[in-house]
Chain A
Amino acid sequence: MKKFNTLISSAVPLPIEEVDTDQIIPARFLKATTREGFGDNLFCDWRYLPDGSPRPEFILNNPLYSGQILVAGRNFGCGSSREHAAWALADFGFLVVVSSFFADIFRGNALNNGLLPVQVSADFLHAIFSAIETNPKAAFEVDLERQTFTIISTGQSEHFEIDPYKKMCMINGYDDIDFLLSLKEKITAFEQTRLPKA
C-alpha cells in the first residue's frame, strides 16, 4: 500500500448525498479480475451519456475543477461492499475523500487501499463547498499525522478522527494482511481451544 502523510491539493465538489457504490462504479464494470483500470468508469452513468460522450454538466467533465481530493455529501459509499469503488477512486487519482458521513464498508475498503476518508462536521463540509464555489482552485491541506483538514484560503481547520491502527498503516504503507500473517501461531492455538468446533 502507498504511504500517505500530507497532501495539499485543490478539490472536486460532489454535493450529493447517499452516493452509493453502484454510482461510483456500476456493477457491469465489475467483470475485471485485476485492481487496475476502474478509474475510466468512475461515476460512469453520471459522467457519460448513453452514447459514451461526456455529460458536460457532470463535475468530473468540468475543466474548472481538479485535484486529488473529492468532497461529497453525507453517507458516501453506501450500498454494495465492492472494493472496486475504492479502486476506481484511487485509479482516477483521488487520494482523499471528504464527507460528513461515510458508510462502514466503504470506509474500510478505502483505508485498505491508501485512499484516506476524512469525516468532517456538516458545517465544515459546507465551508469546504463554499470555498470551492468562491474559487474552484481553492487549496486544502490534509495532514494525517496531526489529523487536520484545512481550508488554506480561510485558514479554517478541523480535526478528523481516524483509528490509530489504521493511521499507522496509512503513514507506513502497511496492509492488515502483514499483521495478520504474523499472528498465525496465535490463530492456530486459538483454533485448538475451540471445542466443540463451531
Chain B
Amino acid sequence: MGKTLFDKIWEAHVVTQAEGGIEVLYIDRHLIHEVTSPQAFDGLRQRNIAVFRPRQTVATADHNVPTRDQHLPISEKLSRFQVEKLTENCAAFGVDLYGLGHPYQGIVHVIGPELGITQPGMTIVCGDSHTSTHGAFGCIAFGIGTSQVEQVLATQCLLQKRPKRMRITIDGQLQAGVLSKDIILYVISKLTASGGTGHFVEYAGSAIRSLSMEARMTICNMSIEMGARGGLIAPDETTFEYVRGREFAPKGAAFDAAVQYWRSLYSDDDAVFDTEYHYRAEDIEPMVTYGTNPGMGIGISQAVPASPETGSAQTYEKSLAYMGLQSGEHLAGKAVNYVFIGSCTNSRIEDLRIVADYVRGKQKASNVHAMIVPGSKQVEAQAKAEGLDAIFREAGFDFREPGCSACLGMNEDKIPAGEYCVSTSNRNFEGRQGPGARTILASPLMAAATAIAGRIVDVREFLN
C-alpha cells in the first residue's frame, strides 16, 4: 500500500517507538516567542540542563509587542518584562533571537518561511497553535504547549501518537474576488470547529495547486480552527521557487540535492486516508463568520442560519447574542467601525498588495478605523519599497509596525466592547480582539472593501 505525504515525513523522523503506540518524534526546527517560552526555560534551569540543539531553535518577539514606536522601550510593564525575559533566555541558552529592532523580527509564522527556515520535509513545532502554517511547504508542523517547548529545548524530540490522516481536495477555479482565506473559511464551515480533531490534513486538488505559497500558508494556518493538529500541502515547483535563495535555505548543489528529495514528498496514488472530503472551488463565495468560533461561517450572500446543524441550541444562542446578530439576518450591509488587516493568517506581502490594489485612489469610510499590521519587518520594508504604505496612508489606513497585534489583543491594539471588527485574523472567539469585541473573519479583500464602504459588502460587486 502506498504512503501518504504525512506518513513519509513522519516516518523519517521517528527516533524510536515507546510503549503503547507512542513514538519519539525528532523535531528539525523549533520556533519560540516571548509568551509560551519563559516557563520552559525556567524548567531547564531547575533541571540544570542546556538547550540540546540551540542552532535548531529560532526566537522572535511578536505576540506582546507594540505596533507603534518599536524603537522606544515598551511602555507596558508586563509586556516589556516578558520581552526582556526572552532576550535574557536566548542569550543565556545560545538561541538566535530576532527581537524588536532586528530586520528579521516579525510574526513567528511569517518569518520562518520568509527566511527559508521552513523547508519541505521538516518537522517544525512552536508554542503556538498556528504553527500549522508551515505545512504549506510540505512539513509536519504543529503547535505545542509550554511543557513540550521545554521537552524540545531539552531533547529536540517530542512523544507523539500518530494522528489520523485526512485529505481535503478542492478542484476547479475560484471565482473572481474569492481568495484562499475564503477556501479555508468555507471548509471549516462545512467541517465545524471540531471536524478535524485527531487528524492531520493534506490539502490537495487543482484549486490548491494553483495557489501561491502565501495563499497556501493562509489555508494551512487555519487547520487548527477545525481542530486538526496541522495541515500540509505537497511541495511542488511553486514551493521550490519560493524557498530558493532565501537566507537559511540550502544553496547551490545542496539546494539541488534538497529539491531532489523534496520531489519525493507526495501522497502515493494508492495511499489511504482515514477521512476524505471533496469540494468544488466554484461553489465558494467570499466568506464571513457570524458567530464565536471559526466554524460559524457563511457565504456573503447567505443569511445567518436558523439553528445549529450540530451542537446545542443554548451554545448557539449564546453565540448569536454575543455577536448581536439574529437568525435570518444578512451580514452584507451591516455597518462596521473597525477593520483589522494582519495576523499570521493574512499579513504577508501578497495580502498587502491585494489590499493596496483595492484601496488605491479610494478613501476609507469616515466611520471606520482601519489598521494594517505587516507580518514582519521584511514585509514592512517591502511594502514601503513598493510604495504601498503611501497608498494605505492616502486611503486613510493606519499602517503599523509588525506583530500579532489585534488578532489576540495582548498589546494595546484592541477593539472596543460591542464593536464589530472585520478581521483577516483566524479566531472570532468571544473577547479575542478585546473584551466584548465582535469579530467577523474575512479575506483581506473583503476587509479592504468593508473599510472603504463602511459596511460589509460583497466585494464581487465592486470588482472591475
Give me the interface of A with B, judged by CB distance under 8 Å. 15-18, 20, 22-23, 26-28, 30-35, 45, 50, 73-75, 78-84, 86, 101, 103-105, 108-109, 112-113, 163-165, 175-177, 179-181, 183-184, 186-187, 190-191, 194, 196, 198
A186 and B146 within 8 A (CB): no
Closest A residue, CB atoms, query B39: A35
Closest A residue, CB atoms, query B156: A187
The CA-CA distance from A184 to B50 in the complex, in Å, is: 13
Instruction: Give the chain A neighbours of B193 by CB distance below 8 A.
Output: 18, 75, 78
B24 and A105 within 8 A (CB): no
Closest beta carbon of chain B to A117's beta carbon, Å: 13
B197 and A177 within 8 A (CB): no
- Interface residues as binary, B8-31 with A (CB distance below 8 Å gives 1, 0 otherwise): 000010011011111010101000
Contact of A17 among B43, B122, B147, B311 (CB under 8 A): B311
Provide the main secondary structure of the chain A interface: loop
Instruction: Give the chain B neighbours of A187 by CB distance below 8 A.
Output: 15, 24, 26, 52, 155-157
Instruction: Give the chain A neighbours of B22 by CB distance below 8 A.
Output: 163, 165
Within 8 Å of chain A (Cβ to Cβ): is B443?
A: no
The CA-CA distance from A184 to B254 in the complex, in Å, is: 28
Instruction: Give the chain B neighbours of A17 by CB distance below 8 A.
Output: 311-312, 315
A165 and B20 within 8 A (CB): yes
Give me the interface of B with A, judged by CB distance under 8 Å. 12, 15-16, 18-22, 24, 26, 28, 35-36, 38-39, 42-43, 47, 49, 52, 63-64, 78-79, 81-82, 85, 119, 121-122, 127-129, 143-148, 150-151, 154-159, 161, 163, 193-194, 197-198, 224-225, 227, 229, 254, 257-258, 261, 292-293, 311-312, 314-315, 318, 408-410, 417, 427, 429-432, 435-436
B197 and A103 within 8 A (CB): yes
Contact of B315 among A18, A50, A194 (CB under 8 A): A18
The CA-CA distance from A175 to B154 in the complex, in Å, is: 13
Given A80-B129, A86-B145, A198-B119, decide whether A183 and B431 contact each other with a Cβ distance below 8 A: no
The CA-CA distance from A132 to B261 in the complex, in Å, is: 58
Instruction: Give the chain A neighbours of B85 by CB distance below 8 A.
Output: 33
Closest A residue, CB atoms, query B199: A104
Closest A residue, CB atoms, query B291: A18
Instruction: Give the chain B neighbours of A180 by CB distance below 8 A.
Output: 24, 151, 154-155, 157-159
Given A20-B429, A105-B145, decide whether A79 and B24 contact each other with a Cβ distance below 8 A: no
Instruction: Give the chain A neighbours of B311 by CB distance below 8 A.
Output: 17-18, 74
> Can you name 22 A-B residue pairings with CB atoms under 8 Å?
A16-B315, A18-B193, A31-B78, A33-B39, A34-B38, A75-B193, A75-B197, A78-B194, A79-B224, A80-B427, A82-B36, A83-B146, A83-B147, A84-B146, A112-B147, A176-B148, A177-B147, A179-B18, A180-B24, A180-B157, A181-B49, A194-B12
A16 and B318 within 8 A (CB): yes
A176 and B159 within 8 A (CB): yes
B122 and A198 within 8 A (CB): yes
Instruction: Give the chain A neighbours of B432 by CB distance below 8 A.
Output: 22, 27
Given A31-B79, A104-B227, A163-B161, decide whether A196 and B35 contact each other with a Cβ distance below 8 A: no
A179 and B159 within 8 A (CB): yes
B151 and A23 within 8 A (CB): no
Closest beta carbon of chain B to A80's beta carbon, Å: 5
Closest beta carbon of chain A to B123's beta carbon, Å: 8
The CA-CA distance from A104 to B193 in the complex, in Å, is: 12
Closest beta carbon of chain B to A198's beta carbon, Å: 5
Instruction: Give the chain A neighbours of B227 by CB distance below 8 A.
Output: 75, 78, 103-104
Closest A residue, CB atoms, query B161: A163
Contacts A183-B155, A186-B24 known; 7 new A-B pairs at CB < 8 A: A22-B429, A34-B38, A78-B227, A86-B145, A101-B197, A186-B16, A187-B52
A22 and B144 within 8 A (CB): no
Contact of B143 among A105, A164, A196 (CB under 8 A): A105
A196 and B155 within 8 A (CB): no
The CA-CA distance from A26 to B432 in the complex, in Å, is: 7
Instruction: Give the chain A neighbours of B39 by CB distance below 8 A.
Output: 33-35, 83
B157 and A31 within 8 A (CB): no
Instruction: Give the chain A neighbours of B35 by CB distance below 8 A.
Output: 30-31, 82
A190 and B427 within 8 A (CB): no
A112 and B429 within 8 A (CB): no
Given A33-B82, A75-B194, decide whether A26 and B431 contact each other with a Cβ distance below 8 A: yes
Which 3 pairs, one residue from A and one from B, show the smallest C-beta to C-beta distance? Answer: A83-B145, A33-B38, A109-B145
